[in-house]
Amino acid sequence: MSDLFVANSADFWAWGGWDSPDPVTVGTPSFSWTLRWEPDSNQSTYARTSVNTVMDLGGGYVFSGIVRYVTQNADGSLTFHNVGATSPSGFFDGGVIDFIWDVAVFDLTFGWGIGSSGGFVSGTFAANINMEIWVDELGGGD
């Protein structure tokens, strides 16, 4: 049975012609957040983001996903999976993938961005983004 390991969320607002805390076109801000825990080779990890709420008063965008994750190999070496760069998903080539599912993950980075084309009030774009990591002990049955 899978357990919800980590849950987080963030409210983001953007306005002002792409120059508020929004992101991922060149010249506008972006966000990333890494979670790290003790490596466990017997653990399967599924992680994703989702968008809860969107308010669009004038045109904008939001995206979120996984930027990178790291696994520990049996010999103790690490493998960096730069999935946001190698397998970007959706319309944006800004460096995130929808979800990951792998074994022996112990370091995972979420990424997201939001942007608005207009000014404050008529142009504000707001969204709430959820971040989740689920883990499952391999061979543990249901």
Partner 1 sequence: MKTLFAKGKPVDDKSSKVCVLFDPRDCRVVHVHGATTIRGGKQFTDAELEKDAIEHAQGFGHAVAGLKALHVPISAIRGRGAFKVNAMGTGLEVTQQAPVRASELLTKWRNENATKGKK
Give the interface with partner 1 as residue ranges (CB under 8 A).
3-11, 13, 15-16, 19-21, 23-26, 29-38, 55, 57, 67-68, 82, 84-85, 94-95, 106-107, 109, 111, 113, 120-122, 124, 126
What are the phi and psi torsion angles at 58 (to 5°)? 170, 5
- Cβ-based nearer residue to partner 1, 103 or 135: 135
Beta-carbon count within 10 A of 59 CB: 12
- Cβ-based nearer residue to partner 1, 9 or 101: 9
What are the phi and psi torsion angles at 84 (to 5°)? -65, -30
CB of 87 to partner 1, least distance (A): 12
- Cβ-based nearer residue to partner 1, 1 or 121: 121
- Cβ-based nearer residue to partner 1, 47 or 126: 126
CB of 35 to partner 1, least distance (A): 5
User: 């060149």: which residue's tokens?
Assistant: 26
CB of 117 to partner 1, least distance (A): 15
Q: What sign has the CA pseudo-torsion 70, 75, 76, 77?
A: negative
**DSSP code of 94?**
S
Beta-carbon count within 10 A of 131 CB: 22
CB of 139 to partner 1, least distance (A): 20
92, two tokens: 């944006």
